[in-house]
Amino acid sequence: MTLFDMKGKVAVITGSTRGIGLAIAERMAEHGAKVVISSRKADVCDQVAKDINDKFGKKTAVAIAANISSKENLQNLVDESNRAFGKIDVLVCNAASNPYYGPLAGISDDQFRKILDNNIVANNWLISMVVPQMIGRKDGSIIIVSSIGGLKGSTILGAYAISKAADMQLARNLACEYGKHNIRVNCIAPGLIKTDFAKALWDNPENLKASTLRSPLLRIGIPDEIAGAAVFLGSKAGDFMTGQTMVIDGGATIS
């Protein structure tokens, strides 16, 4: 047994077919957890679950497709996860939306609502669905993948930044509500990570140079550099941490 051992734990990770979510699922599986792979497309979920099972052993992963904008889909995700593995010990709310880049004056109502609904409201829905069983066991870890966008102002990512700041407050509020049940709720706030989701921010060489110029490490991150924090929070190592936001950004916010 080590502090980071996740044997016997079941982790549900939304948005886990690529990028940060995939890296978290793979590392949690590596540390012994059973993992539920979830995103919108069932065939992609199936392939990722197969890859993890091939690598870490049969019955390590199951695929359950879900669109986070649908409350019914999320309830089905919880129900099917319980059916497959009997419980949920760790919930990672990673899936998010950002359909708009530009000043807030130009965002449509539908775009703004989609960002707030998918990045905040859906997280609260899913957490509320999972928490009762955690209360029953007096144990659980909830991880929300936020962003350093929630710590800074932005001229092009305003609505997204607002939603990610709200996720940090959601974690603080829920940490206060559920702490008496030994349920920990924390955020991870990545900086710029080389994912398809953030491609618009790093694919252009000029944008990339501007993003890394003042960062102490002088580079952007990769998904696997976020996964370790999730393993920490989901394992015994993170048992006394709650209501916090772990910033993992190569030093971008300090420089």
In the annotation, is 100 catalytic? no
Number of H-type helices and E-type strands within the chain: 9, 7
DSSP reduced 3-state for 65: coil
User: What whole-number distance in Å separates Cα of residue 251 and Cα of residue 255?
Assistant: 7
Four-CA torsion 94, 95, 100, 105, nearest 10 degrees: -60
Tokens 């420089």 belong to residue:
255
Site of tokens 């695929």:
63
230 to each of 114, 117, 149, 200, 225, how far by Cα in Å?
26, 23, 19, 25, 10
- Give the span between the Cα atoms of 234 and 253, in whole angstroms: 25
Active-site residue identified among 100, 101, 160, 178 = 160
Handedness of CA 214, 253, 154, 197 (dihedral sign): positive
Active site residues per annotation: 160
